[in-house]
């Protein structure tokens, strides 16, 4: 019989290196060494131990934090070496007993978060010139190999024991959950038939065959392994454009307060309506004057509004995903001066080539991607006093449906609501499919995006915004509350499973990328497989793993 689900009730995504249980981060000039030595007893839940460098969500929360800090706090680092401090194992992947005990929702959210963390590693390599190198000595299985796959290069010890494997299908009746299948064929260009063989054997592949099949880049004898890794890391770091003499920006802890159904940050408030199964996220525009030059931006550091807001939004999304699973609708509102938001965008544009500004913009893109792939209904409400301009307009463009008030509320002397475009909407904030949200809205008429460029900076009221395709509906004050209430109530009455599938299918039209395939294909299949008896039933492979009993499979193929 399967164990009762054991998913932590409250998960905190804030941590720091001095609180790590599982990772060590050591910087040596332009090379950083990110070492994995999992504390078996420091688990996020109960009822399992993290043996053989296996991981649960807590291990990946630390990894995500380390990746973020390397980008912002260590501009001098051009190469990050991911290695193991375990004597015999690089990483055994996700802990099987944890998965067997976890709720379905936790398993799926866990896989999504680990994917996003690995996407962040690849983004660091591709866009921040901070290249990741995996130094694999010992067994490298499942999610462990998927961590290596996220790195730009993999060096494998040639010692007769070190091997890479993706054994989930034969061992557990599930899929490699963090993009392994897609990265094999799309990133490393492993031939399809070889990938099929590799993914259906338990023991993995080592030595020369691993190189010939493109599963790793090099194999090095154990006696020369450490020297070869250090030499290659130095070469990769030397090729980076990261500024060696720049000072980093410390990511101070967020000022977050949780009070019942309200979560507050400095630039964001979250209000939860449990009866409606909805959360309202109120984003606040800049309250103070923005820095005037790059030195002032650096002096502001983590308090710099574009970075501060995105850190808070990132944390809020993760909090709602994992700790508020039944809150199925997220409504975005905003408060502030749209002109100040446009000024912030202009400031970022003016200093776009500076390493810190580059990281801020890339981080904003990643947070908005995390919003796009969240399994929640997204609604935007544009009212008088809103500041949905430029980069904040992306929240409206990301919504499944958006409402903008036509005119004013009765007895409200504030001017009518407006939205505004900035250059940020035309390229720096792309979705997982490689398109901007404006491009995704205009697949039938690409020229429409060019016409929108002519309206950059213009304060657009409801009728103009609707005509330009920027919002869905423009009710007046008489219908405003009813139209939004009807949508929220309808959403709460639909099947969450059907909504997740529908929304994910509609949000990413047009081309596919490796990133979009991971979320739209792998995540959807894994979601289904995690509910199937062959994996999680009383006689399923995931539940019986390690018991000595053989799983009993339903042999129908559908």
Q: Each residue of 208-217: pLDDT tens digit? A: 999 999 999 9
**Closest Cα to residue 321, out of 270, 282, 365?**
270
CA torsion sign for 207, 210, 211, 216 is negative
d(CA 149, CA 90): 13
pLDDT value for 4: 45
What pLDDT, on the 0 to 100 scale, is given for residue 68? 98
Among all chains, which residue has been given the structure tokens 């070869």?
228
Quote the DSSP letter at residue 456: B
Length of the chain, please? 558
Which CATH class for the 258-504 domain? alpha beta
The overall longest dimension of the chain from CA atoms, in Å, is 79
pLDDT of residue 177: 87
Give per-residue pLDDT as tens, 188-234: 999 999 999 999 999 999 999 999 999 999 999 999 999 999 999 99
Binning pLDDT at 50, 70 and 90, where does residue 325 land? very high
pLDDT of 6: 52
What number does CATH give the domain 17-238? 3.90.226.10
Query: Is 17 exposed, middle or buried (CB count within 10 Å of its CB: 0-12, 13-18, 19+)?
Result: middle
Where does the pLDDT of residue 2 fall: very low under 50, low under 70, confident under 90, or very high at 90 and above? Answer: very low
pLDDT at residue 493, as a whole number: 96
Question: What pLDDT band is residue 3 in, cutting at 50, 70 and 90?
Answer: very low
For all residues of the chain together, what is the average pLDDT? 95
Strand stretches in 336-449, DSSP E = 377-382, 401-404
* Distance (Å, whole) CA 508 – CA 370: 13
- What are the pLDDT digits (tens) for 232-275? 999 999 999 999 999 999 999 999 999 999 999 999 999 999 99
Provide the residue ranges of all domains of the chain, joining segments of one domain with +: 17-238, 258-504
The pLDDT of residue 145 = 98
CA atoms of 348 and 205, how far apart (whole Å): 47
- Looking at residue 546, its pLDDT comes to 87
Task: Find the helix or strand (DSSP H, E) in which 334 lies.
Answer: strand 329-335
The Cβ of residue 75 has, within 10 Å, a number of other Cβ atoms equal to 22
Distance between CA atoms of 3 and 526, rounded to whole angstroms? Answer: 21
Residues 6+ apart with CB under 8 A from 53: 36, 37, 38, 84, 86, 89, 90, 91, 92, 144
Reading the block at residue 173, the tokens are: 């009746």
Whether 363 has a pLDDT exceeding 60, the answer reads: yes
pLDDT tens readout for residues 36-58: 999 999 999 999 999 999 999 99
Phi-psi region of 173 (alpha: psi -120 to 50; beta: other; left: phi over 0): left
- The one-character DSSP state at 436 is B
Q: What is the DSSP letter of 247?
A: P
CA distance 207 to 213: 10
Sign (positive or negative) of CA dihedral 356, 358, 359, 365: positive
Alpha-carbon distance of 373 to 364, in angstroms, equals: 15
Model confidence over 70-124: pLDDT tens digits? 999 999 999 999 999 998 999 999 999 999 999 999 999 999 999 999 999 999 9
Same fold, 17-238 and 258-504: yes
Block residue for tokens 């490298």: 140
Cα–Cα distances in angstroms (integers) from residue 230 to residues 129, 437, 517, in the given order:
18, 42, 34
């Amino acid at each position: 019989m399967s164990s009762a689900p054991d998913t932590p009730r409250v998960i905190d995504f804030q941590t720091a290196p001095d609180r790590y249980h599982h990772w060590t981060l050591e910087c040596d000039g332009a090379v950083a060494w990110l070492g994995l030595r999992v504390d078996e007893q420091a688990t996020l839940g109960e009822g399992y131990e993290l043996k053989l460098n296996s991981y649960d969500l807590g291990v990946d929360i630390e990894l995500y934090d380390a990746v973020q800090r390397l980008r912002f706090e260590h501009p001098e680092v051009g190469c990050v070496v991911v290695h193991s401090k375990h004597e015999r194992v690089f990483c055994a992947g996700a802990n099987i007993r944890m998965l067997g005990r976890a709720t379905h929702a936790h398993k799926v959210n866990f896989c999504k978060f680990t994917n996003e963390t690995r996407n962040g590693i690849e983004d660091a390599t591709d866009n921040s010139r901070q290249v990741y190198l995996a130094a694999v000595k010992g067994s490298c299985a499942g999610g462990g190999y998927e961590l290596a796959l996220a790195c730009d290069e993999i060096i494998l010890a040639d010692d007769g024991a070190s091997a890479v494997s993706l054994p989930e299908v034969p061992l557990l009746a599930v899929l490699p959950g963090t993009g392994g299948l897609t990265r094999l064929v799309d990133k490393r260009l492993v031939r399809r038939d070889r990938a099929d063989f590799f993914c259906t054997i338990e023991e993995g592949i080592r030595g020369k065959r691993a190189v010939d099949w493109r599963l790793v880049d090099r194999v090095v004898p154990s006696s020369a392994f450490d020297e070869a890794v250090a030499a290659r890391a130095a070469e990769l770091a030397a090729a980076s454009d990261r500024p060696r003499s720049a000072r980093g920006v410390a990511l101070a802890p967020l000022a977050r307060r949780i009070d019942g159904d309200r979560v507050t940050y400095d630039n964001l408030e979250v209000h939860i309506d449990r009866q409606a199964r909805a959360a309202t996220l109120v984003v606040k525009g800049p309250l103070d004057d923005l820095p005037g030059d790059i030195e002032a931006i650096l002096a502001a550091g983590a308090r710099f509004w574009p970075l501060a807001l995105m850190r808070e939004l990132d944390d809020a999304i993760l909090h709602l995903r994992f700790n508020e699973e039944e809150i199925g609708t997220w409504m975005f509102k905003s408060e502030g001066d749209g002109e100040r938001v446009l000024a912030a965008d202009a400031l970022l544009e003016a200093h776009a080539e500076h390493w810190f500004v580059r990281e801020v913009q890339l981080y904003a893109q990643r947070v908005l991607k995390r919003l796009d792939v969240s399994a929640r209904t997204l609604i935007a409400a544009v009212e008088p006093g809103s500041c949905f301009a430029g980069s904040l307009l992306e929240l409206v463009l990301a919504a499944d449906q958006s409402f903008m008030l036509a005119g004013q509320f009765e007895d409200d002397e504030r001017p009518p609501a407006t939205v505004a475009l900035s250059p940020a909407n035309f390229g720096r904030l792309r979705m997982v499919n490689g398109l901007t949200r404006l491009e995704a809205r205009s697949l039938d008429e690409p020229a429409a995006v060019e016409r929108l460029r002519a309206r950059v900076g213009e304060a657009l009221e409801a009728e103009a915004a609707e005509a330009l395709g920027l919002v869905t509906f423009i009710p007046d004050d008489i219908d405003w509350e009813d139209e939004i209430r009807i949508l929220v109530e309808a959403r709460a009455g639909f099947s969450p499973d059907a909504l997740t599938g529908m929304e994910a299918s509609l949000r990413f039209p047009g081309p596919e990328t490796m990133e979009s395939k991971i979320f739209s294909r792998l995540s959807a299949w894994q979601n289904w497989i995690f509910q199937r008896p062959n994996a999680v039933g009383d006689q399923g492979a995931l539940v019986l793993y390690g018991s000595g009993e053989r799983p009993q499979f339903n042999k129908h193929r559908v």
